[in-house]
Chain A
Amino acid sequence: MTTYVAAVDPTATAAGDTAWLLASAALVLLMAPGLAIFYGGMVRSKSVLNMMMMVLGALAVVTVVWVLIGYSIAFGDDVVLGLFGDPTQYLGLEGLVVADPEARIPTILFALFQGLFAVITVGLIAGAIADRTKFGTWLVFCAVWTVLVYAPVAHWIFDFSAGDHVGGWMANELGALDFAGGTAVEINSGAAGLAAALVLGRRIGFGREPMKPHNLTLVMLGAGLLWFGWFGFNAGSALGANHLAAVAFVNTLLAGCTGMLAWLAIERVRDGHPTSFGAASGVVSGLVAITPSCGSVTPMGAMAVGVAAGAICALAIGLKYKLGYDDSLDVVGVHLVGGLVGTILIGLLASSDVTAVDGLLYGGGADQLGKQLVAAGATLVFSFTMTAVIVWVLEKTIGFRVHEDHEASGVDLALHAETAYDMNLTAGGRPHLGGHGPS
């Protein structure tokens, strides 16, 4: 009954929109364990727990830092030139606890929804430096990177000016389109992954020892959970239960499908076999590229975006062997490259049936394409440079890379005192329960 009253009262919170955003935020949260499982399956069995811990650790640290200061930097009133918001404006989200009668959806919910985007972005970076980093330093990195890199870029592209509020330069002065994070999430994490992998260096035995994924069924499960969560990520970015959310939803499904098919086609021609790892990677590459573009292309456009991303990413993942950087789980090949594909293709494939402008192929000229290139390039350069400096400073001060003996024997045991799989009858030992064991 209260819901019905709220729905007809124009000044009250829109119940449907709020419900969808609540559900979307929960879906985006599910992407964190999804990513942990996706990445966990890709590493060797001696470092699967560490990989999952890096992603879950990012979830905990980034959420707290976001509530304390990150949200204010991203969505506070602009301090200078559209570069970052007032870092103290929403400190601890205290100012958002009392309901704003003007708000269509509760701002505190919007703040948390955006915070979960930061979580996924930071979690993605872990894949580039798998098997070789200290867990404590990683947690420090998560906090520092959220404040110095993610929050400013989110301000640039996601913070729209409205009324007295002045937002970021990309969204407002430049007019680049990025529906759900091709720049702030995908290019940002990919460029950061490249910088981190370059500064920390290759794993011992990279390119010589086999570093195969230890469990591809986990990778498939993780890809499925990511895809499910991605509906919250993309369709939730409509910030309402409306037609645009539905279009983004359809596009998210389609690009995942065509991304998978394109990746498999490349594999079939290049390597002779369509692989399960390729299918999972193709889905994710399609989803990465549709993330910025799901709110500006038609279903046919979305299929084209997925094909382009699946094919280009399938070719790009070989670069690390040619160029010699050890991006362990292809954060560069999938997220940087896929993010660039999706962000730039908006300039070609945007349709005024969906968004405000037409892309080049829809008769809109090259104007939007130019804006997309500027946004993509600025994010790439900023993220790469800042991350390289942050990782370098952490390595030189508190140390980021683990001791080589620990890397060789496996970081699960060395850092966490656990092993992921215990399948031998004689694997145990003497327990020292000491009065505080599990009861």
Chain B
Amino acid sequence: MKLITAVIRPHRWENVREALEALGVSGMTLTEVSGYGRQKGHTEVYRGAEYDVLLVPKVRIEVVAEEPDVQPIIDAILASAATGKIGDGKIWVSPVESVQRVRTGETGSAAI
């Protein structure tokens, strides 16, 4: 069991969602986040006062999946989120010890 976390451009989210749905991914958690990497924010100006705003708005999606599904999901996110320009985001995978569905108490793959 793995947790796939992807930080992507907000306006690509609908694309990513469609691509994952086509793979049979039936749910995900989405958080609106901000951060920076190689893409370094922007300048805002208020009555002549300039502000270097370092943080860029992004969307973080989290999907828990079985081992064999991980690479197809990553490939789908890569294909649907990329624009080829700096600021497309990151994907990382981390191990998950256990998953449990709150309503039924089911565990393992039945809970995904």
In the complex, the answer to whether B44 meets A418 with C-beta atoms within 8 Å is: yes
In the complex, the answer to whether B52 meets A437 with C-beta atoms within 8 Å is: no
A208 near B: Cβ within 8 Å? yes
A window 421-439: CB within 8 A of B: 424, 426-434, 436-438
A429 to B49, CA, bound (A): 12
Closest to B41 in A: A429
B43 near A: Cβ within 8 Å? yes
Closest to A414 in B: B42
In the complex, the answer to whether A438 meets B48 with C-beta atoms within 8 Å is: yes
A419 to B14, CA, bound (A): 23
Q: What are 30 A-B residue pairs whose CB atoms fall within 8 Å in the complex? A: A205-B14, A209-B14, A405-B85, A409-B11, A413-B42, A417-B42, A417-B43, A417-B45, A418-B45, A419-B44, A426-B34, A426-B55, A427-B55, A429-B41, A429-B44, A429-B51, A429-B52, A429-B55, A430-B52, A430-B54, A432-B50, A432-B52, A434-B48, A434-B49, A434-B50, A437-B47, A437-B49, A438-B47, A438-B48, A438-B49
A408 near B: Cβ within 8 Å? yes
A210 to B11, CA, bound (A): 10
Annotate B26-48 by CB proximity to A: 1 below 8 A, 0 otherwise: 00000000100000011111111
A window 380-439: CB within 8 A of B: 405, 408-409, 413, 417-419, 424, 426-434, 436-438
- At the interface, is chain A mostly helix, strand, loop or mixed? loop
A436 to B47, CA, bound (A): 8
B window 40-71: CB within 8 A of A: 41-55
In the complex, the answer to whether B51 meets A428 with C-beta atoms within 8 Å is: yes
Residues of A within 8 A of B50 (CB): 431-434
Select A429's contact among B11, B54, B85, beta carbons within 8 Å: B54
Residues of B within 8 A of A429 (CB): 41, 44, 51-55
In the complex, the answer to whether B49 meets A431 with C-beta atoms within 8 Å is: yes
A438 to B51, CA, bound (A): 13
Q: Beyond the given A408-B11, A424-B34, A437-B47, could you list 11 further A-B residue pairs with CB under 8 A, ordered by the A residue number? A: A205-B14, A209-B14, A405-B85, A417-B45, A428-B51, A429-B44, A429-B51, A429-B55, A436-B49, A438-B47, A438-B48
Residues of B within 8 A of A434 (CB): 48-50
Measured between C-beta atoms, what is the minimum distance from A132 to chain B in Å?
13
Residues of B within 8 A of A205 (CB): 11, 14
Select B48's contact among A209, A409, A437, beta carbons within 8 Å: A437
9 pairs of A and B residues whose beta carbons are closest in the complex: A437-B49, A429-B53, A432-B50, A429-B52, A417-B45, A436-B48, A408-B11, A438-B47, A429-B51
B window 4-22: CB within 8 A of A: 9, 11, 14
In the complex, the answer to whether B34 meets A427 with C-beta atoms within 8 Å is: yes
A428 to B41, CA, bound (A): 11
A window 196-244: CB within 8 A of B: 204-205, 208-210
A434 to B43, CA, bound (A): 14
Residues of B within 8 A of A405 (CB): 85
In the complex, the answer to whether A427 meets B53 with C-beta atoms within 8 Å is: yes
In the complex, the answer to whether A209 meets B54 with C-beta atoms within 8 Å is: no
A409 to B86, CA, bound (A): 13
| Given A428-B53, A429-B54, A438-B49, also A413-B44 (CB < 8 A) | yes
Measured between C-beta atoms, what is the minimum distance from B19 to chain A in Å?
13
| Given A417-B43, A419-B44, also A430-B51 (CB < 8 A) | yes
Residues of B within 8 A of A433 (CB): 49-50
In the complex, the answer to whether A438 meets B46 with C-beta atoms within 8 Å is: yes
Residues of A within 8 A of B44 (CB): 413, 417-419, 429
Measured between C-beta atoms, what is the minimum distance from A424 to chain B in Å?
7
Closest to B9 in A: A408
A333 to B14, CA, bound (A): 28
Residues of A within 8 A of B53 (CB): 427-429
Measured between C-beta atoms, what is the minimum distance from A220 to chain B in Å?
26
Measured between C-beta atoms, what is the minimum distance from A260 to chain B in Å?
33
A210 to B13, CA, bound (A): 11
Closest to A416 in B: B45
A367 to B9, CA, bound (A): 60
Residues of A within 8 A of B34 (CB): 424, 426-427
Residues of B within 8 A of A413 (CB): 42, 44
Closest to B35 in A: A426
A417 to B46, CA, bound (A): 8
